[in-house]
Chain A
Amino acid sequence: MKKLLLLSTIILFLIGCSKEFTELKPQQNVFTSDVFTILPTARAAVNGLYSLMQEQGYYGREALAIPEMISDNMTRSVKASQEANFNTMTFSTTQSEVRLLWDQLYKVIGSANAVIANEENIKKLGTAVTQIECSQLVGEAYAVRAMAYFDLAKFFSRPLKSTSDGSHLCVPLLVESITDVEKIVFPSRNKASEVYAQIDNDITEAIKRLPSNGDVYINGVVSTTFTKIRMNHWSTLALKARVAIYKEDWATAIAASSEVISSGKFTLFNYAGMYQDFQTNGNQESILEIANNTNDNPGNNSYAYLTNQSGYGDALATKQTMNSKSTGTTLSTFKGLYDIYTATDVRRKFVELGNRNAIGGESNVPLCLKYQNISTYVENIKVFRFAEMYLSRGEAYARLALLNNDAASLTASLTDINLIRKARDTASATKLFAASVLATPPTGSISTAAFLDSIIVERRKEFSLEGQRLFDLNRTKKNYVKIRSAGSSTSVLVDYANPASTYFIRTILPIPNAAILSNKNLIQNEGY
C-alpha cells in the first residue's frame, strides 16, 4: 500500500502538465506569422489598411483639418478647444496632431509593407477563383502605400520642384516589412526625388496587379459595395493624376485623368446634386471614399464633429470681414473662402453663414458644412472626386499651353474648366471663360497666367474643406492671408517669397519631436 502510494506520488509529479498547457493562442489577435497563411486573414490584413486610413490621424480628421486650418480656407473659433495653433500658425514640433498624422501614415505604410512582402505567400493561397483577388490584394497595398507616401511628402516636405533635382529632404522610405524588435530600423530622410520615384513605382506596380476594368473582388466575387471605397484601377489612376500635378508632370496628369474621364464610370453632379448628394456614399462623382459605418464610430474625433456646430464646431470657414484687425490694405485684397463664391454658386452652400454655437462665439460667419453627420457618422470621406479629373486635366493643359505656346491645349483646358464652372454655377453661362478672353499665344501669355490663377481659385471653390487647399498653395506658391477669427489676433500674410518668415516655414509641418527622439537620424525641417 505504501509503495503504491509512493509510486503514484512520483508518477503524479512526473506527468504533470503537458507543454501545450502553457502554449496559448490570443483571442482577439492573430500571430503575425499566421496572418498570410490563410486567405481570410490575408484579406483582413488589406481591410486593415483602410481601417487605419479611417482614423483621426489620417482621413478621419487630421488629413483634412490640418491643411484647411493652415490655409486660407478655415479658421478656428475664438471659443474652441481643438486643433489649436494651426490657425495661428504657431504649432511646434510637439504639436500632438502632427505626431498623430505622422505615426498614422507610417502605420498604414507598415501594414502595406507587410502585405507586399508576403506577395508570394498570398499568391499561394489563390485558387483558380481567387487568383485575381490575390493579385488585387497586393495591388491595393501598393496603391495605398503610394498614397500614404504622397501624403507624407506633401505634409512634411516642400514640393518636388522646389529644388531643381528634387534633392531636398523628404521623408524616410521603408518598403520592407518589420516584424521583430531585433530588426527595427532607424532610416534617415530620403530625397524628394527618391520618395516620388517610389510613389511612381508603387502606382505602376498597383496598376499591374489591379483588375483593369476597375472591379474590386471581395471574398472571391466582384463587389459593388466596395468598388468606390477601396483602391481600384480608377482610383489609382486618379492618384496618379494628382501626384503628376504635384510633380508638375503635365503629360502624365493629362493621360491619367483622361483615362478616368473616358472610363464612363463617373458623371458630374447636376447643379443641385452637388450640395444634395455630396454626402451620399458612393455617389456618381465619387472615385475613392474612405468608408465609415456605425461600428467605426469615431465620435468626437471625427472631422464632422470638429466642424458641426452641434459637435465641437471649432472650425469655421473664412470671410474677409470676420477680422477687422487685418492690417494693411494689401491684406484686404485676399479673399476668404466665403468671398470667392458668387451667390449663385451651389458650392457656397457648404459655407453658409450662421452662428457659432458657443457662449461668446462668433455670429454670422461661414460655417463648415461639407461633412455633418455626427449622429451615426456614416459619412464616407471623399478622397478623389470626378471633378478633380477635369480640373487637373484642365490645369495641365493650361500649363502646357503656357510652356509650349500651344493654342490647342488652351482650348482643351477651357473646355474642361468651363465644364465644371457651368455645372456649379447657374449664372456661369455668362461667366464662362471664352477662348476669346485670352489673346492667342504667345502674346497672351500673361492672360494665360491669369487664367491659371483662376483655375487654382476654381480648385479652391470645388475642393473647399476637403484638405487640398494648402497643397495647391504650396505647389503654386501663391501668397495668401491667414484670416483669423476676430478677437484673437491679426490676420497675417503668408509670403512664399520670404523663406525666413515663421508663416512660410509653417506651410509644411515639422517632423514630430517624438519621431526625432526615437530616431536620431532624422533631420528637422528648416525653421523649426
Chain B
Amino acid sequence: MKKNPILLLILIFCVPLQILAQNLQIKGRVLNSKDNSPLENVSIKLNGQKKGLTSQKDGSFAIQVAKGQSLEFSSVSMISKVIKIDNLNDNLIVLLDENEDKLSDVVVVAYNTVKKSSFTGSASTIKNTVIENKPNTSFQESLQGNVAGVQSSNGSGNPGAAPDIRIRGIGSINASSAPLYVIDGIPVVTGDVAGSGQSNTLAGINANDIQSLTVLKDASATSLYGSRAANGVVLITTKRGAIGKAKISLSIQQGFNNPNIKEEQRPLNTAEYVQYFKEAWVNAGGTSNNYDSLLLSKGVDKNVNTDWYGLTFRQGHYNQYNLNVSGGSEKTTYFVSGSFYKSQGSLQTEDFEKATYRINVNSQVSNRWTLKGGFSGNYQNSSDFSENTTAANPVRNFYRLAPWISPFLSDGVTWNMGFNTQYNPIAVYQTLKKFNKIYSLNANANSEYKILNGLTLESSFGVDFNHGYRSIYQDARVGATYIARGGQIEDYSNDISNWVATNILRFKRTILEKHSFETFIGYEAQSRSDRDLNVVVNNITPGTTTPAGGSVVRTGTGSGTANAMVSKFLNTNYAYDDRYYLTGSVRQDASSKFALNYQSAIFWSIGGGWNISNERFFKSNWINELRLRGSYGYTGNNSGFGNFQSQGLYSAGADYNAASGVTLSQLSNNNLTWEKNTPFNIGVDFSILNGRVSGTADWYTRTTSNLILDQPIPSLNGVTTMTVNSGAMKNSGIELSLSAVVISPKKAGDLKWVVDLNYTHNKNEITQIDSLFSNSADYYRRVGYDYYTMYHHEYAGVNPTNGEALWYANTKRDSTTNAYTPGLPKFSYGSATPKFYGSVTNALSYHNFGLKFQVYVYWGNTVYDDFGGLYHPDGSAGLIDLSNGITKGEYARRWVSAGQVTDVPKPVYLGTQSGLSSYESTRFMYDGSYIRLRDISLSYTLQKEAFAKTRLKINSAKIYVSGQNLLTYTKDKNLYTDPEVGIDGKLTGRPPVFRSFIFGLDINF
C-alpha cells in the first residue's frame, strides 16, 4: 500500500479551512462514484455546522455557501466527502464512494440479520461483486484470497472439482473439517453427489444469483448451528427484486483455458532421452559402442518423437451466459434468472457444463404478513479422468510415456496398443465416455407475521433435492483390464433429499430509550435421506452404452441411509445506547446420530461488544469508528459419525452362495459423542480518515476435543476397530482485513484507487493424541505438531564424487548412506499448512476504464509429490514404455561429472541404487510457497448517457478482458508443476490448475 496519498489525505482533512465571506449559490448532484447513479438523502452541511439539507431523489441539491467555505457530504454506507467552494457553480457533481466495510452495514447471520455495529461475533461478508462473472465453476473458488480466515485450495485443473475449504484451520482428524453451507436458511447437501470422487453439488449454484455470502467464524456467529457448527458456516443469500421498473441484466463471457506447465516442467523428447539413457547405460557399465544395439533390442526408434504433452493438453474453450430480470410493485417483488456455463479444461476431454435458473418472489400480503418464496434448479455435467496411479490417468501418462512410442501404427490411424498395458492415451480419449451429472432442486417458502408490535412469527420450510448420476463407459478395445472384461459400463445413481422446517418467534423492543432487546426462540426439524444404486456390467455389445448392453453383471448393489434432527434454540441481543452489546445463544440438538447416553446436546455462546467511538469521552479527528468485541462458546461437529455410528450393527451383503448373510461389523458404543469445539475470539473493527480506511482484526483460538477416531482393537473381539472420542487439536491465529480508498476522485472520471488487503495466519497444533489411533505413514501426528506435518526419510542429495543418491542414516544427520532401506530414520518437516496466506486487490478506475487485479500469496507450506518415486526412476526401469518421467528442468540438473553438487542423481540403466518407486524421501518434498496474479481484469464501462442517442434502452454496458492465474511465482524452482495442490499438500497426479483468458460483456437494461 502506498503511504503518500494517505498522508496527503490526512493533511487535506485536518488543516483548518479558511472562511471567506462571499455567498455563492451552488447547485449540483450527488452521484455514486461506482456507476454515476443518483444518491438520495445525502446529508449536505456547511462544514462545522449541525444543520443542513439532503439531496433529492435524482441526487440534486441547491445551497448557499460563502466563498471558501466547505460543504460536507455524508450518507449511510458512503464515504463522506468535504468540498471547498471557491466559485459559483450550478452543476457541481459530487461523487461519493461506497464504504465497503462499514459498521452500519447489515450482515446476514444465523437465523437473523443484524447491523454490523451490534454483532459480537466474527463474520466476513463477501459482496456479490467479488463472486459474480468469474470463470470459476463454483462460488467456493471465489473464497480464495477474498476472506481472511478461509483457506481455499483448488488443487485440480479439472473443472468442477470440489475445492477444499477450511475455516480457521483443520478442526478434525477423521471427521470432516468442511464448513456447513446454508442457502437462504436451508442447511444444504454438499459434496460428491455423483460419486465420481470429484463432483461438487455446490458448483451448481449460479454465482451471479448470490446477493451476499457471509462466513461465520467464531462461537457467537456459529453456535446457533449447534452440532454442525464447529468448522464454521457459510451463509448464502440469493438476490431478490427491488421495487421499481424491471431491470434486465445480461452478461456474456467467452474465453480460453490454457495449460499452466512451463517448458522446463515438461518431459524430455526422444533425442534427450536417447542421450540420457546413453549416460545411464555407460554408468551401468555398458559402452557407447553397444548402446545402439541396446536401443534396437528395446525397440527404441530414434525417429519417433511423440509429444505426449501436446497430445494430452489443449486450449479449452470457456463460455458463460447470465440473464436476470428483477423488479416489482409496492406489494410484490421478483427476481428471475437463468444461466449457462461451459468450460473445457486444459486437459483433453475434461469438460464441465451447467445450467441454472432461479425464481425468488416476495409478497407483502398485508401490512402484517409477508411471504417469501424461492425456487431454483440446476444441472451439472462433468467428465473427468481417474487420478492417481491408474494407467488411464493422462497426467501420469504425459510425464511417463516414452516419446519413442508412436500412438499409431505405421498406417498412421490404427491405435498402437502394444504399450502402457494397452492404455494408449489417444485410444482412451477417443473411447472413454465418462460423465457425472447432478440435478439439484431447491425450494423454500417463508412466512413472516407481525403478531404484535415487536413480536413476529416466522415459519419457513425448505427442500433440497439432489440427484447425482454417473456413467463410465470403458471400451472393450482399450486397457488390459477392460479388454479382458469385454468392456465395462458402470452406472451409478444417488438421490439425496433433505428438508428443514423452522419456526421462529421474534421479539424486539427498546425501553427507556437506551435499552434495546432482541430475542428469538426457534424450533427446527431437519431430515435427510440418501439412496444410491450401482451397476457394473461387462462383455458389452458393441454400440451400446447402457447397462442393458452388458452380458455379465459384475456388480449390482445399492444402499440407503437417513438422519433426522430436532432442535430448539434461543438467541438474545441486548444493546445499551449503541455503546454496549451483549449476546447469548443456546441451541439444543437431538439427532438420530447420537448415542444412547447422549441423545441431545446443548451448545451455547456468549459475546460482548463495545463501540468505543460512541462514547462521549472518545474524541478523535481521524478515528471515525472503533469497536471491540469478544466471544466464547461451545459448538459441535457430528459430521464424523455415520448415521448409526454408535449402534451395534451387523452388515448385510455377506451373502454366501446367493443366500443372504450378515456379519458383525460394529460394536455398540453408548458413550460416543460429537467433537467438541470451544472457540474464543477477540476482534476490533475500525474506520479512520472519514471512512477512507476501514478494517477488521481478529485473534482467535479454538480447541477441538473429543475427536472422533477409529481405535484399533484386538480383532478377536470380532471387529478390528471401534470409534471413540479421543484426542484434541488447537487452532489459533490472526486475521486482518483492510480496505482503503487510496485515491478518491475529485470529479467524475478522475482516477480512483481502492486497495483491499487480507492476511491470515493460522497455527494448528495437536494437543492430545494416541499415536496408535492416527497412524499415518506420511504425516507426523504427535502432540505439539501441526496436523499436516510431513514425515519422511531425509534425502541428503547427491554424492558429488560419484553421482549416487544419499540419505541420512541417523537422526543426528551426521551420517549418510547410499543404500536405501525402509528402515532409515524418518524426520518431521514443516507442514502442508501455510504459515500465512492472503491477498492484495487493487481496483483502479479512470473515466470509463477500470482495472482490477488480485495478487494472492500462499506462503510457508511444504508439498510432497506422492508420485515422486514413480516419476523419477533415474534409469532404474530401463528402456521401457512407461517409468520415465524426468522433466527438462531435472534433466538439466542431473549429475554428470565428479565434483558437481546437485540434487538429481546420475542415471544408471537398470540400477537399484536410486530411482526405485518405493524410495520415498524428502527428495520429492518441495517448498510450496507461491505468489500468484490470480485475477486481473480491464474494463470499459458506458453509462446510460452514451446510449441516449440510440434506441437502445441501456442503463449501462461494460466490456472487459480478464485473466486468471496469468503469472505465478513459485519459491521452489525445483517444483515441477503448478504449486497449488489440495489442502493435504500432496501431488497425486491431478491435472494442474490452468490459466484462463476471458472476454466479457455486461449489459443492464
Contact = CB atoms under 8 A, between A and B. Distances in A.
A110 B715 CA distance: 8
B505 interface: yes
B14 interface: no
Contacts of B662: 30, 35, 41, 44-45, 47-48
A187 B565 contact: no
Contacts of B92: none
Contacts of A43: 659-660
Contacts of B565: 22
Contact of B717 (A33, A102, A174): A174
Interface centre among A5, A17, A103, A514 (most CB of B within 10 A): A17
Nearest to A299: B554
A514 B664 CA distance: 20
Interface residues of A, number: 75
Given A26-B561, A26-B649, A28-B652, A13 B715 contact: no
B714 A518 contact: yes
B19 interface: no
Interface string A47-85: 111111010000000000000000000000000000000
A182 B643 CA distance: 21
Given A21-B525, A31-B649, A51-B663, A515 B715 contact: yes
A24 B591 CA distance: 10
A358 to B, nearest CB: 11
Nearest to A218: B659
A52 B654 contact: yes
Contacts of B599: 22
Contact of B564 (A24, A27, A184, A375): A24
A518 B663 contact: no
Nearest to B566: A17
A110 B668 contact: no
A29 B652 contact: yes
Interface string A296-309: 11000000000000
B452 A181 contact: no
B661 A50 contact: yes
Interface stretch (A287-295, A323-331, A337-345, A416-424): A287-295
B663 A48 contact: yes
Interface centre among B452, B564, B715 (most CB of A within 10 A): B715
A488 interface: no
A515 B656 contact: no
Interface stretch (B28-36, B465-473, B718-726): B718-726
Contacts of B665: 29
B525 A23 contact: no
Nearest to A52: B663
A9 B666 CA distance: 43
Contact of A30 (B554, B649, B719): B649
Interface string A112-123: 011000000000
B503 A44 contact: no
Contact of B722 (A5, A29, A181): A181
B563 interface: yes
B523 A30 contact: no
B650 interface: yes
Interface string B516-531: 0000010101010000
State the main secondary structure of chain B at its contact with A. Answer: strand
Contacts of B719: 107, 110
A174 B650 contact: no
Contacts of A46: 661
Nearest to A18: B566
A96 B657 CA distance: 28
Given A13-B523, A26-B561, A295-B658, A110 B648 contact: no
Given A30-B650, A48-B662, A517-B712, A295 B564 contact: no
B555 to A, nearest CB: 7
Interface in B510-551: 521, 523, 525, 527
A184 B722 contact: yes
A51 B661 contact: yes
A297 B555 CA distance: 8
Contacts of A187: 714, 716
B716 A29 contact: no
Contact of B451 (A6, A102, A113): A6
B525 A26 contact: no
A295 B713 CA distance: 30
A264 interface: no
A179 B648 contact: yes
Interface in B656-701: 656-670
B484 A310 contact: yes
B648 A33 contact: yes
A26 B643 contact: yes
Contact of A5 (B449, B553, B718): B449
Contact of A32 (B554, B664, B724): B664
Nearest to A522: B714
A46 B525 CA distance: 40
Given A13-B503, A22-B564, A515 B663 contact: no
A13 B566 CA distance: 12
Interface in B733-787: 772
A463 interface: no
A291 B656 contact: yes
B885 to A, nearest CB: 18
B554 A297 contact: yes
B652 A22 contact: no
A515 B223 CA distance: 41
Given A44-B662, A103-B720, A181-B724, A28 B657 contact: no
Nearest to A47: B661
Given A17-B566, A31-B648, A295-B658, A24 B503 contact: no
B559 interface: yes
B454 interface: no
B654 A47 contact: yes
Contact of A17 (B525, B561, B562): B525
Interface string A483-520: 00000000000000000000000000000001101110
B592 interface: yes
Nearest to B553: A294
Contacts of B592: 22-24
Given A35-B650, A45-B662, A174 B716 contact: yes
B653 interface: yes
Interface centre among A21, A186, A229 (most CB of B within 10 A): A21
B452 A2 contact: yes
Contacts of B712: 514, 517-518
B651 A111 contact: no
B323 interface: no
B457 A5 contact: yes
A24 to B, nearest CB: 5
Interface centre among B555, B659, B724 (most CB of A within 10 A): B659
B751 to A, nearest CB: 57
B182 interface: no
A510 to B, nearest CB: 15
Nearest to B481: A300
Given A26-B643, A179-B668, A107 B663 contact: yes
B899 interface: no
Interface centre among A22, A27, A174 (most CB of B within 10 A): A22
A48 B655 CA distance: 6
The 9 closest A-B pairs by CB, nearest first: A110-B718, A32-B648, A47-B661, A51-B654, A48-B663, A106-B715, A48-B661, A27-B560, A519-B714
Given A29-B651, A45-B662, A111-B664, 12 more contacts: A2-B451, A22-B599, A28-B560, A29-B666, A30-B662, A47-B654, A52-B663, A103-B720, A110-B716, A178-B717, A180-B669, A218-B659
Interface of B: 449, 451-452, 457, 484, 503, 505, 521, 523, 525, 527, 552-556, 559-566, 590-592, 599, 643-644, 647-670, 711-720, 722, 724, 772, 880
16 contacts: A17-B525, A21-B525, A22-B564, A22-B565, A22-B592, A52-B654, A106-B714, A106-B717, A111-B663, A111-B718, A114-B718, A179-B664, A181-B668, A229-B656, A291-B656, A518-B714
